[in-house]
């Protein structure tokens, strides 16, 4: 009987010691990953190559004359980005540019080269910093909207309605020629809106006319699959170790409260909400920190590097993540710096909804990391569409199919109310196409979430997301109201 009691006591002691060892190992592991902040677990800090997060909307390649294509392929995009980066690597003399007029800009657009629109109007200093992966300060104070690299010539930059030519720059002609020639072997042919519709002669606007250089495919687009996706985490599965792991990575192991809100989200908090992490039913993360007085300043590259680190601490970022917006704003008398990121599949950018919300957001209050949002959907499988649709609808059919809505919105914005059978505005509407890109749009269908290829068609003040295969408007937004 006594020996039985002894065995029990020994077992209990062994169990106690084992639990102590295991727990200390967990603490040790978290401690080893958490650096720099004294208060709690903070973010891994590694020097990232921020150049990897540079991405224009898409690259327009002109083979000379009226032969064009649009590049979505990630590999080709990266190759071009690296060459563009080399061009600006040794830009020591910021003043080596001259302002040119619109006619000169338009003249060079028809030459052999590569052109791209930025995802947002980025300040020239930040544009260079992003390209060369280092903080550069020329105190330029002007934004880059569009870049045009002409083979063997200068690099031209559009800043809203102003145009510049950079002379003293690495031209990298051979490298550009090599990449253009490679693309030239096999490409989908595009033409500019002006080349297809000849609006200059029809609208007859004289000097006020601006050539519409946006590109439209003249070959049928096929084989862009639909992608089935799932939430990054499933909060319904409370015992999910992944959730616990995420929480410990962001808040450490010492969070105090766990709260469920009426929408079904779960919120983990430290103290009285000084720091909190919310995971909602979509598997989206939102981290908030109470704003403290912080007068430290982060430069663009520093903040970008920290943002990437912070987002990667939660979980690795998709390899095709890019900086999609950057700006500063005031919140409770604090200046907040905001970095936004998005990602792509197969080279096509992913839109999670029509509210222009980015997939990943990081905010800083001075040098204090105050906000993170991570909205990511995990890829599960591809659904080939060739058995459903032969190919994408041509653009003229897309516009034709949705003309009633498009013309109504366009004319309402103009304050014109006419009988819709009157089609005299068709040329004006075509001239006002401001952008046309293929994207993936997240759509919930039959309880399953899918990324559907859409045209993001911007006409006047409206943006339409249109299924490329059946031409149905999936969503539309009035940019004027949204801004």
Partner 1 sequence: MKSFRKLTIAILSIIILSSLFVFADDADVKYDLNDYLEIINPSFTEIDNVEVKNSLFISMNIKQEEDMYLTVKRIVPVMDELYFDKIINDEIDKDELINSIADRVIDINSINEMEIINDESIVTERERITSVIRRYVEEYIKNKQMQLEFVTMTREVNLVYINLVGDYDHVIIEKYNKLREEYFTELKIFNEIRNDYNELFKVKILDKDKIISAGVMPYYEKNLQDISAGRYEMVIELFDEDRYMLKKINFNVVIKQEEEIIIEDKIELIQSPIIKFDLEE
Q: Of the listed pieces 132-140, 187-195, 229-237, 330-338, which binds partner 1 according to CB under 8 A?
A: 187-195
Q: Of the listed pieces 84-92, 312-320, 369-377, 397-405, which binds partner 1 according to CB under 8 A?
A: 397-405
Neighbours of 477 (CB within 10 A): 17
Interface residue with partner 1, options 65, 152, 264, 435 (CB under 8 A): 65
Size of the site for partner 1 (CB under 8 A): 25
* CA–CA distances in Å: residue 405 to residues 257, 369, 396, 402, 468: 49, 43, 15, 6, 17
C-alpha atoms less than 13 angstroms from C-alpha of 460 in its C-beta half-sphere: 22
Interface residue with partner 1, options 30, 34, 40, 63 (CB under 8 A): 63
Shortest separation between residue 403's beta carbon and partner 1, angstroms = 5
φ and ψ of 312, to 5 deg: -75, -25
Q: Of the listed pieces 85-93, 143-151, 398-406, 441-449, which binds partner 1 according to CB under 8 A?
A: 398-406
Q: Are 166 and 338 in contact (CB under 8 A)?
A: no
Residue closer to partner 1 (CB basis): 32 or 201: 201
Task: Say how far residue 210 (Cα) sits from the centre of its chain.
Answer: 28
Is residue 189 near partner 1 by the rule CB under 8 A?
Answer: yes
Is residue 423 near partner 1 by the rule CB under 8 A?
Answer: yes
* CA–CA distances in Å: residue 236 to residues 13, 220, 231, 387: 37, 43, 11, 35
Residues 260-299 that bind partner 1 (CB under 8 A): none
- The contacts of residue 341 (CB under 8 Å, 6+ apart) are 53, 307, 311, 317, 321, 322, 323, 324, 358, 359, 360, 361, 362
Is residue 394 near partner 1 by the rule CB under 8 A?
Answer: yes
Is residue 391 near partner 1 by the rule CB under 8 A?
Answer: no
Is residue 405 near partner 1 by the rule CB under 8 A?
Answer: no
- The contacts of residue 157 (CB under 8 Å, 6+ apart) are 97, 124, 144, 146, 147, 148, 163, 164, 165, 166
Interface residue with partner 1, options 30, 222, 383, 426 (CB under 8 A): 426
Task: Give burial (CB, 10 Å; 0-12/13-18/19+) of 417.
Answer: exposed
Interface residue with partner 1, options 172, 195, 232, 289 (CB under 8 A): 195
For the chain, give the number of residues: 483
Shortest separation between residue 402's beta carbon and partner 1, angstroms = 10
Residue closer to partner 1 (CB basis): 184 or 449: 184
Is residue 191 near partner 1 by the rule CB under 8 A?
Answer: yes
Instruction: Give the residue among 433, 458, 428, 459 at the shortest CA–CA distance from 200.
Output: 428
The token duo for 382 is 């591809």
DSSP label at residue 483 = -
Distance, CA of 421 to CA of 190 (rounded, Å): 30
Binding mask 117-156 for partner 1 (x = CB under 8 A): ----------------------------------------
Shortest separation between residue 196's beta carbon and partner 1, angstroms = 5
Shortest separation between residue 457's beta carbon and partner 1, angstroms = 14
Instruction: Give the residue among 322, 262, 287 at the shortest CA–CA distance from 130.
Output: 322
DSSP 284-307: -EEEEE----------HHHHHHHH
Residue closer to partner 1 (CB basis): 19 or 198: 198
Shortest separation between residue 240's beta carbon and partner 1, angstroms = 52
Residues 328-387 that bind partner 1 (CB under 8 A): none
Q: Of the listed pieces 72-80, 184-192, 240-248, 273-281, which binds partner 1 according to CB under 8 A?
A: 184-192
Handedness of CA 21, 22, 23, 27 (dihedral sign): positive
Q: Of the listed pieces 58-66, 76-84, 233-241, 339-347, which binds partner 1 according to CB under 8 A?
A: 58-66
Residue closer to partner 1 (CB basis): 147 or 399: 399
Q: Of the listed pieces 80-88, 171-179, 194-202, 279-287, which binds partner 1 according to CB under 8 A?
A: 194-202
Is residue 408 near partner 1 by the rule CB under 8 A?
Answer: no
- The contacts of residue 368 (CB under 8 Å, 6+ apart) are 289, 291, 292, 294, 296
Is residue 184 near partner 1 by the rule CB under 8 A?
Answer: yes
Shortest separation between residue 206's beta carbon and partner 1, angstroms = 19
Is residue 209 near partner 1 by the rule CB under 8 A?
Answer: no
3-state helix, strand, coil in the chain (%, to 5): 30, 35, 35
Shortest separation between residue 473's beta carbon and partner 1, angstroms = 16
Binding mask 212-251 for partner 1 (x = CB under 8 A): ------xx--------------------------------
Neighbours of 470 (CB within 10 A): 14
Q: Are 474 and 418 in contact (CB under 8 A)?
A: no
Is residue 470 near partner 1 by the rule CB under 8 A?
Answer: no
Question: Footprint of partner 1 on this chain (CB under 8 A)?
Answer: 63, 65-67, 184, 187, 189, 191, 195-198, 201-202, 218-219, 394, 396-397, 399-401, 403, 423, 426
């Amino acid at each position: 009987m006594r020996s039985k009691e002894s065995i029990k006591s020994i077992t209990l002691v062994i169990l106690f010691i084992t639990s102590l060892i295991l727990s200390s190992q967990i603490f040790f592991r978290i401690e080893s990953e958490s650096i720099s902040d004294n208060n709690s677990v903070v973010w891994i800090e590694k020097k990232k190559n921020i150049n990897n997060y540079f991405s224009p909307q898409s690259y327009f390649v002109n083979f000379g004359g009226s032969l064009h294509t649009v590049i979505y392929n990630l590999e080709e995009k990266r190759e071009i980005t690296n060459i563009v980066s080399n061009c600006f690597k040794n830009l020591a003399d910021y003043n080596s540019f001259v302002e040119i007029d619109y006619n000169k800009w338009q003249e060079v657009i028809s030459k052999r080269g590569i052109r791209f629109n930025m995802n947002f109007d980025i300040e020239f200093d930040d544009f260079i910093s992003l390209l060369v992966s280092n903080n550069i300060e020329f105190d330029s104070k002007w934004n880059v909207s569009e870049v045009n690299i002409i083979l063997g010539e200068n690099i031209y930059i559009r800043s809203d309605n102003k145009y510049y030519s950079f002379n003293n720059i690495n031209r990298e002609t051979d490298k550009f020629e090599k990449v253009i020639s490679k693309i030239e072997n096999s490409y989908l042919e595009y033409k500019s809106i002006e080349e297809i519709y000849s609006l200059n002669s029809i609208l007859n606007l004289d000097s006020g006319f601006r050539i519409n250089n946006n590109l439209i495919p003249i070959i049928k687009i096929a084989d862009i699959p639909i992608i089935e996706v799932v939430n990054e985490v499933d909060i319904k599965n409370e015992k999910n170790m992944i959730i616990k792991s995420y929480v410990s990575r962001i808040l450490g192991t010492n969070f105090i409260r766990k709260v469920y809100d009426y929408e079904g989200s779960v919120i983990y908090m430290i103290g009285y909400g000084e720091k909190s992490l919310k995971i909602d039913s979509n598997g989206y993360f939102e981290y908030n920190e109470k704003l403290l007085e912080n007068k430290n300043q982060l430069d663009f590259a520093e903040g970008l590097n920290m943002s990437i680190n912070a987002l990667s601490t939660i979980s690795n970022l998709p390899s095709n993540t890019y900086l999609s917006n950057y700006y500063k704003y005031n919140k409770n008398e604090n200046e907040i710096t905001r970095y936004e990121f998005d990602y792509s599949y197969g080279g096509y950018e992913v839109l999670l909804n029509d509210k222009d919300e980015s997939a990943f957001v990081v905010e800083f209050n001075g040098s204090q990391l105050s906000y993170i949002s991570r909205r990511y959907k995990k890829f599960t499988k591809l659904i080939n569409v060739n058995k459903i649709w032969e190919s994408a609808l041509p653009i003229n059919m897309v516009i034709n199919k949705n003309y009633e809505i498009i013309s109504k919105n366009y004319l309402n914005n103009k304050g014109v109310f006419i009988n819709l059978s009157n089609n005299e505005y068709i040329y004006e509407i075509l001239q006002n196409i401001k952008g046309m890109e293929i994207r993936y749009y997240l759509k919930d269908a039959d309880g399953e979430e899918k990324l559907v290829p859409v045209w993001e068609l911007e006409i006047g003040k409206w943006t339409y997301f249109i299924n490329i295969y059946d031409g149905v408007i999936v969503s539309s937004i009035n940019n004027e109201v949204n801004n």
